[in-house]
Structure 1
């Protein structure tokens, strides 16, 4: 079914379940399985996790609700929906620039996300060939280093990832995104749960549980708070514009509050299960929890090389990691392609191809930042980024500055600018508590929290 809004036909999700799979697929990705474990490892374990959970549900869920409502009310992408709701509220059209900020963050993140997603494909092949059988930590580190030192190999896997992502988005909601996520997400969920049971049997689960669930509050400082909030935004998927775009396809009778709750709960559950899958092996084999971005790629292969059926388990793990990555890549590309489609009045396949090509070009800088341009520090005059490579600059600015800024402006727009009647109508199917609590939270709690977070990010 489709209706027409503006210049483009507006399609609908086939079912609420299709939407949940797609939205969860976007939220659940490398942020949960690759980024969450190493960020937790670097920032004190359970203390970091506690702040992350508070931010995910206390800030992330209301913002997801706001973005879904913006999309369903405006029935366009993030820029178009902001413009439409501003017009309905007799507010300045300049509020639509929030969308441009969100899409800039989305573009910057996708440009390095496809590179890291490509690493997972490379590791599927290496594990299938038995390259990590019986390997020690030094050998595993050497393998990872060899990949980092091979720009052409990294670029090849990046282009494969970009091509798959572009193909899915080009096929639209029903032929691409719904079809892929409705197959991939159940496979992902089942596979990850089975791997966690495997970790329970062959890993040090007791140490993992203590690390994840027994907080040491002395480890909490402004840096840990800033990193936890940035991770929550990155993982849950607020500030990108994707939830606005996906919300524009949402039926009017779907409960915004319960749907947002399901998305955040699924995202958080996967992050926890990923931690319970990875850390038992890390502790069992005496690996370093503070290994940083290389935690999954440098330490886990050592465990896979030693445990029973480790070669098969390793292939499954990195295949699942690629599934999570590709569904997130699709969610990141979709609002960018939708914006290009509306700006230049072209068909979705054309827009998806053009934006994918731009992402591929910009990703070259990320690839080179791990090898030939490793000593190039584009913002060396800025203290916190003085020694940062292109990749680190992309990640820090997008995750810790642009996403929170976009989220803050969305909260201010929804809470103070948009008509109150708009949100009452949108929340009519979400229950009385959601309808009563939403505006106070968006007006006071969320802006204050995000404003504090931004200050911490800048000062940390």
Structure 2
């Protein structure tokens, strides 16, 4: 993207690019282990509910703000509300994206390392201990920092030269391939002996396992997996033409996100229970289960390599959107060079990500509030900053933005009735902010 206000060339391209920005680590990496740590099926059901009732309206809201203003995140709020401090919502998003990318890039580095090892066939081995392999990679300071640097460098290079054409064109090929590979993995996973226990854990809700903290995590996961709360989708939709329906596009992205989350759970938990792993293993769950599953398939190393490459693409499309919001915000001021802004932002993110990268090695015993730097960054983003950003956006939509402009943007190119707009508006004005506040207070034990 650049400041000439380019537009996506097609509705499909925009939806797939937005889905790529949303899906990434949220649905494929984080969702399985968060579900495993919070009781399985009940968490999944709660996640779907929050996605439909809270996440989808917020995604529509960010689309409306972006296309309505035709500006990047910070400038968009200044255009739509020149008076007051509403631009703080965009600044909140830029800061949140910075913090998110600082630890997100650590996981991106892990995937890069796994890709590097998988292509020459160095991961899948007879009687391999994949848990030990993951520990040896994340516990090596030099390896994790190199992975972090390489992942950020890829992002900087792409953002420097613009991302629209690359993301839109490749998304049309690679996102469908990601679905195909997931389906193949699911089919194999459910045939393992003992897989039914994993399916029951994932699909059979047990609400007695839910806590106030679990509810907060489910809400945060719905925001994380849809990339709402940091105005990332404000920037993406600012390049969107008026001939595309925002509610329908947002619904498509949300449905794809739920489907990928479902496939991730169906692929992971049968294998977890079949091989006696713990569903509450944590961030490394995916890296231990995938090799175990592919090792049981013909040409498993080849399929693992292809899947990891597609997984890497999904992660990169998400990280592109994070670096884009930062780059767009700072390059919009005083006509600064995108190349310089992207390079400086990437370097600062790299420095900020080093403590998170060392959280499994040199800084493993350094904890704040009982959490490592990596886990603390994740908690702050998912359970404080994202819900906070969503709360601010809902207040902006419900009480500040011009209602007529919202109705116009909502109604372009679709056959939805005025009642549908009113339903969405009332959800944004009352249900979304009150739900966020209630869930947050309940997680703190104040309700």
Q: Give TM-score, length-normalised by structure 2.
A: 0.93
1:286 aligns with 2:276: yes
Alpha-carbon displacement from aligned partner over 1:101-139 (angstroms, at most 9, x marks no partner):
121111111111111011112222333433431235xx3
Q: How far apart, in 2, do the equivalents of 1:34 and 1:173 lie?
A: 23
Residues 1:9 and 1:320: Cα distance change in structure 2 (over 3 Å): closer
Mapping of residues 342-361 of structure 1, within 5 Å:
342-361=332-351
1:331 Cα deviation from its structure 2 partner: 1.5
Tell me what 2:10 maps to: 15
> How far did 1:28 drift?
0.8
Superposition deviation, residue 306 in structure 1: 4.5
Q: Which runs of 5+ in 2 are unaligned?
A: none
**In structure 1, which of residues 346, 370, 376 is the aligned counterpart of residue 360 of structure 2?**
370
Alignment of 1:251-266 (within 5 A): 251-266=241-256
Alpha-carbon offset, residue 42 of structure 1: 0.9
SS at match of 1:9: coil
- Name the structure 1 match of 2:426: 440
Q: Secondary structure at the match of 1:11?
A: coil
Give secondary structure in 1 for the equivalent of 2:276. Answer: coil
Give me the CA root mean square deviation.
2.0
Q: Equivalent residue for 1:49?
A: 44
Aligned residues of 1:203 and 1:284 also touching (Cα < 8 A):
yes
Partner of 2:409: 426
Distance 1:457 1:247, change over 3 A: farther
Identify the match of residue 126 of structure 1 among 112, 117, 121.
117
* Aligned pairs (5 A) from 1:279-428: 279-377=269-367, 379=368, 386-428=369-411
Pick closer, same or farther for the CA change 1:353–1:108 going to 2, 3 Å.
same
CA distance in 2, matches of 1:85, 1:114: 33
Going from structure 1 to structure 2, the CA distance change for 1:146 and 1:297 (only over 3 Å counts) comes to: same
Where structure 1 has 5 or more consecutive residues not aligned to the other structure, the ranges are 3-7, 380-385
Answer whether contact 1:195 1:317 (CA < 8 A) is retained. no
Q: Which moves more between the two structures, 421-430 or 248-257?
A: 421-430
Q: Which moved more, 1:16-25 or 1:447-456?
A: 447-456
CA deviation after TM superposition for structure 1 residue 149, in Å: 2.1
User: Contact 2:185 / 2:293 at 8 angstroms: preserved in 1?
Assistant: no
Q: Who is 1:453 aligned against? A: 439
Q: Secondary structure at the match of 2:5?
A: strand
CA distance in 2, matches of 1:25, 1:267: 9
CA distance in 2 between partners of 1:439 and 1:182 (Å):
32
> TM-score when scaled to structure 1?
0.91
Task: Please give the alpha-carbon distance, in whole angstroms, between the structure 2 residues aligned to 1:181 and 1:151.
Answer: 33
State the shift of 1:308 in Å: 4.2
1:34-71 residue CA offsets vs partner (Å, 9 max, x unmatched): 11111111111110001100001110000001100000
